Amino acid sequence: METRITLKELAASLNLSVSTVSKSLNDSTEISPITKRRVTELATLKRYVPNNMAQNLRGKKTKTLGIIIPNIFSDFFAEALSSMEEQSDKRGYNIIISFTNDSLEKEIECINKLIHRRVDGIIISPTLTESQFGSSTHLNKLSEYNIPLVLFDRILDNVACDKVGLNESLLAEEATLDLCKLGCKKIAYFSNISNTSIGNQRISGYSDAIKKIKGKKQIINFHKIDLKISLKHLIGTNSIDSILADDGLSSILIVKSILELGYRIPEDISMLNFSNGIFSHYLSPSLTAIDSKPIEQGKIAVDILIDRIEDRLSPELLDFRLEVSLVHRESTRRLVPSI
Amino acid sequence: METRITLKELAASLNLSVSTVSKSLNDSTEISPITKRRVTELATLKRYVPNNMAQNLRGKKTKTLGIIIPNIFSDFFAEALSSMEEQSDKRGYNIIISFTNDSLEKEIECINKLIHRRVDGIIISPTLTESQFGSSTHLNKLSEYNIPLVLFDRILDNVACDKVGLNESLLAEEATLDLCKLGCKKIAYFSNISNTSIGNQRISGYSDAIKKIKGKKQIINFHKIDLKISLKHLIGTNSIDSILADDGLSSILIVKSILELGYRIPEDISMLNFSNGIFSHYLSPSLTAIDSKPIEQGKIAVDILIDRIEDRLSPELLDFRLEVSLVHRESTRRLVPSI
DNA sequence: CTGAAAGCGCTTACAG
DNA sequence: CTGAAAGCGCTTACAG
């Protein structure tokens, strides 16, 4: 079935040696223009395609990156992945993509598979479990195989490698202070990812901000409550005037509940969330959100990884934290201009 | 930098031949248990990992599939891709994923790259341009390389290969008839993808249904109108009582416009759309939609491709069209039970 | 039970 | 300018 033509067959048809044919195809200066032309012509005619496997076997590099992310169901990961693919392509690298669905077991399997496939480097956004319990031996072992690793978005402290992400704590603090600036005084954080490293950083940033504005800390674990009942109580007792939410999905549910309870956004409650996905644009009301720049982050992660692979970086490990900005939309009150 | 241990080094340390070590590692029955143990112990200790490149070079198969899709920003493709990844993994295949962003040029590049990489097979959902103009020489040439191809979701007639998708025409017809059954009489189709093969099939199915119910055909090209003005006019003049929309995004915009115009869904206008994405679930009102079963479709595409690769299929090409169903939600009227 | 040898398809010193 | 030879890391007939 596999009938693709090889260098050897090409050489035979041309009455040339394999070396000459190979050099011709690689446009080596050693070869005469006439021979080159003969070779390339036949190669085109016979649809010769070099065997990457053989080339890589000699070259020791596979020009392939492994990318491991939890899923592509959030806009953040979808856009980040898309951007990584584009940038890898631009720099001449292929990618092998795996999704863990936040299963640590699958993540470990993936890592092993990528080692087997001899990828030149790996970008990973680890599972939440891992970020909770920090059992990252499978990541740390990559250095023993000399496979560069870039930790993306979900950054772990116990892994020594290049890192690309956000300053989640600072971000949460700024978001909280922003709500305050817009006139909110009772700001609750509905956390959807508590107990993870990112979740904890956000909580810490939120807490710092609340302390600064001398407010009352109200951290609500999204998974542990009956949303509608909680909201009814919180708003009814005038305990909150604004909500900081983790992701698009929880925002949607919160908005839906608030509206169904008969309250208005932003008049009664302001909403701000960490995910600037397509939801935030198109929901009614549209949501003020933190633009975490997945496109830029993805590109940077790929660039750092390839630079590391190609030895263009100084040995110190990078810890790149992107500056991000708030996108104000309908879900938060306008700032009343002071005269 | 690359210091991974090879069979040869392993053999040297053990005072064995390369063949014996190789066989031991592959658990061959030729080798004595004692030797096997010695070998595997040292291999583990030294973290030996076989070089896939070399293995593939001998075996002629790469156990790798190429997957080319336009993007992962719709829930459909995201879920389909996720499912393909899972199924490939289950069956022992790796995948290389590329996104075309609906650029035919990028698609052609991808195909060439995958040929170079000697993938065992390819699944593709072609660009819209291609589905409009049908210039598919780059797809047809795959058969010359003996690379099996599965056309996914966006199915072209001019490519001879296995196909997995929906019966878009039937689907559109049934959706239209369903609206009719729910009491709608003036059904407009807001097409977001006219001029593509899928778009045309849907239009034809919609047209058939309209003919059956003796209604008036109203096909509106989503891109060519000012949405709000059009809707105001159509609803104001009582020209439509229901809308069939292509995808999630256009549905959102339509819903938003209708609500802003002060009309109610489904009381004034019923909405049904072809995309059962997360939007359809969570929008207020939630949207009645066609469940196109991306998970199942993705799995089937992978299974067919691998079965084709492994020669488990009869030579006739498959054209698999999945049965799908409507999911009724808030955006369409309830059926009034007849007594 | 073990090993020497050939070969997968390429590239690249080296020789002529 | 062309070619013979070695070698990338493996597997698998074949011989012993």
| CA–C1' A151–C11 (A) | 35
3 state SS of A243 = strand
B4, closest nucleotide (Cα–C1') = D9
Which of A217, A209, A211, A218 is CA-nearest to residue A178?
Answer: A209
| CA–C1' A60–D4 (A) | 24
Interface of B with A in 299-338 (CB under 8 A): 311
Residue A2 confidence class, pLDDT cut points 50, 70, 90: very low
Q: Does pLDDT of A84 surpass 90?
A: yes
Closest CB from B50, B116, B259 relative to A116: B50
pLDDT tens profile B30-71: 899 999 999 999 999 888 888 888 888 887 788 899 999 999
**Mean pLDDT of the A203-211 span:** 96
Task: Give the residue ranges of DSSP H helices in chain B.
Answer: 7-14, 18-25, 33-45, 52-59, 75-90, 104-116, 128-133, 137-140, 168-181, 197-212, 227-236, 248-260, 278-282, 294-309
Cβ of residue A86 closer than 8 Å to a chain B Cβ: yes
A117: nearest CA partner in chain B: B52
| CA–C1' A137–C10 (A) | 37
Q: Which residues pair with A163 in a beta bridge?
A: A151, A319
The DSSP code sequence of B239-274 is --SEEEESSHHHHHHHHHHHHHTT--TTTT-EEEES
- Structural domains of chain A, ranges and CATH numbers in brackets: 7-50 (no CATH), 61-167+294-324 (3.40.50.2300), 168-292 (3.40.50.2300)
Cβ of residue B53 closer than 8 Å to a chain A Cβ: yes
B19, closest nucleotide (Cα–C1') = C3
Residue B299 confidence class, pLDDT cut points 50, 70, 90: very high
pLDDT tens profile B184-204: 999 999 998 877 888 889 999
Residues of chain B with Cβ-Cβ distance to A52 below 8 Å are: 116-118
Question: Rounded to an integer, what distance in angstroms lies between the CA atom of residue B304 and that of residue B294?
Answer: 15
Asked if strand C comes closer than 7 Å to A52 Cβ, the answer is: no
Which of A306, A311, A315 is CA-nearest to residue A65?
Answer: A306
- Give the pLDDT of residue B317: 95
Cβ of residue A1 closer than 8 Å to a chain B Cβ: yes
Cβ of residue B145 closer than 8 Å to a chain A Cβ: yes
Cβ atoms A249, A293 nearer than 8 A: no
Cβ of residue B98 closer than 8 Å to a chain A Cβ: yes
**Mean pLDDT of the B314-327 span:** 93
Residues of chain A with Cβ-Cβ distance to B60 below 8 Å are: 2
Q: Which residue's CA lies closest to nucleotide C3 at its C1' atom?
A: B17
| CA–C1' B113–C10 (A) | 18
